[in-house]
Structure 1
């Protein structure tokens, strides 16, 4: 995934990004622009937070990221501002940033790394590769190893738990979910869950209420500002309460997971996974003996 080639004057750094393209830097990057919130978190995890000179809206973690100058959002980038920052590396979200603007960025000749983690292992790999580009390999290896240990611990603990059918509600109007081709579906499996819409051909499909009723999930999960707590209202899931025969409703298995911990492919997803695993254990405990 990455190689180092030395010469008497410098050590060129070459890595392969998530699009399959090779990026080569003559020296470690010192001025980086992050064009996705998850990228900002990954750069901090890799030890390069102080090198980020520009970031997009919602780059809010860790706290230090909130002070980074903004260069737009995933829909509209301020290309002039990006150029004025004189970055020696731009890290983008391949499917989150507008393709037309990506073409214009590439025309500038600034090295671009595409970050698109689709699996849990990709998160650790992104941290390691960004660490190589930043020259902060030791920090990156420590962060990626800690994440891998956290995920491994959860995988070991829940690998043989009875399966729980899970519907993950991304959005309620229109009703949307995720198929198998994403990190959170892998988190569901990690906890011993089964994504009831994993086989859908669309990565983020729009589905019908009837499809959910037919799938009859044992648990319904959605992203919320904070984790599920006793007696806490979950407005996004209220629609399901009218179908009392739905297994998830009948057993009280409507769960909210802190969205910041599950919507971004960063080390914090290990915390979101731990929350989901606890919720699915509750669902198992509510089965008839």
Structure 2
């Protein structure tokens, strides 16, 4: 089969009642409600246009019934919007919610089976700007409607993605609801961490020894750490970067967080590193493995990510 490459820039390849009245007086209101609903449906009928992150106006004659999504975070967003059952193609890494595991795989995140995507003839392909533009052109030249979502690097980006996809799927009210739920979850965590007199210094590891990588400003992970009320020892660094063990030891973090889950026992490996034994996090056994999907996917679980970090670093605030 023909496959064409999807280029990712991340350094490692390594996601939210009203009771009816039984009286006769309520009957006219019921009729009015039905008329109002019909009017709303008529207003939503016909072509509509949503601008994607390329700045392109994508016009839909009707709401898509079948979708291929090429990024796990967008799959999670679509499920949160209540339209996950429309997804017929996804990547090998689409594992949340559990229903996503039953979707056909059309990409391994490095290569996209373009031939199969075209065979599926989805009403919509949700792509991402970190991919190779050529692949988008090939899908569009085959007559497929492609909506490009920028790979989010901030919470505001995620909120925008949710709203965009809710507009595409004509579930705008649900989109606003999901965004508000996330913001409320984040605010609840911040209320707890606001009582802190001092933030703990944290080292966040995304790749293990000997080629150690961490994250700094301008990354999604940095915003999670910041909102969770912790001090990233490498907050002054840009993007994702390789770090030396000496710089970590010198910074002497109080807590180590890692998302490395493919290297045996990552916590034990960090605790046993030569020369790290005097570091506060090692002495206090404050080394924790966190769910890499929750911490790395800019989707609807970003509130969970903030809560997970804060609860791990400041468990006393969540008792």
Same fold (TM over 0.5): yes
**Distance change >3 Å, CA 150–CA 241, structure 1 → 2:** farther
CA distance in 1, matches of 2:153, 2:191: 21
The alignment status of 1:170 with 2:206, answered yes or no, reads yes
* Aligned counterpart in structure 1 of residue 300 of structure 2, from 241, 244, 267: 267
TM-score (ref. length: structure 1): 0.83
CA distance in 2, matches of 1:38, 1:9: 29
Aligned-pair CA distance for 1:175: 0.4
CA distance in 2, matches of 1:158, 1:246: 24
CA distance in 2, matches of 1:104, 1:264: 26
Aligned to 2:104: 69
CA distance in 1, matches of 2:167, 2:159: 13
The alignment of Structure 1 onto Structure 2 pairs a total of residues equal to 270
Q: Which has the higher contact order (CA 8 A, sep 6+)?
A: 2
Tell me the alpha carbon deviations over residues 43-101 of structure 1, each in whole angstroms, 9 at most, x when there is no partner: 11122201112111121111111111111221011001111111222112332x44553
CA distance in 2, matches of 1:103, 1:212: 44
Contact kept? 2:271, 2:287, Cα under 8 Å? no
The alignment status of 1:193 with 2:193, answered yes or no, reads no
Contact kept? 1:76, 1:98, Cα under 8 Å? no
5+ residue gaps in structure 1?
1-5, 226-231, 285-289
* Aligned counterpart in structure 1 of residue 249 of structure 2, from 213, 231, 240: 213
Once the two structures are superposed, the pairs formed by residues 100-249 of structure 1 within 5 Å of their partners are: 100-108=134-142, 110-161=145-196, 162-173=198-209, 174-201=211-238, 203-223=239-259, 234-240=267-273, 242-249=275-282
**Distance change >3 Å, CA 7–CA 276, structure 1 → 2:** closer
CA distance in 2, matches of 1:92, 1:159: 38
Q: Which has the larger radius of gyration?
A: 2
CA distance in 2, matches of 1:235, 1:184: 23
**Distance change >3 Å, CA 210–CA 98, structure 1 → 2:** farther
**Distance change >3 Å, CA 153–CA 282, structure 1 → 2:** closer
Contact kept? 2:205, 2:213, Cα under 8 Å? yes
* Aligned counterpart in structure 1 of residue 124 of structure 2, from 86, 89, 95: 89
Aligned to 2:62: 27
Aligned-pair CA distance for 1:103: 4.6
Contact kept? 1:159, 1:191, Cα under 8 Å? no
**Distance change >3 Å, CA 279–CA 92, structure 1 → 2:** same
CA distance in 1, matches of 2:137, 2:244: 36
5+ residue gaps in structure 2?
1-41
Aligned-pair CA distance for 1:140: 2.2
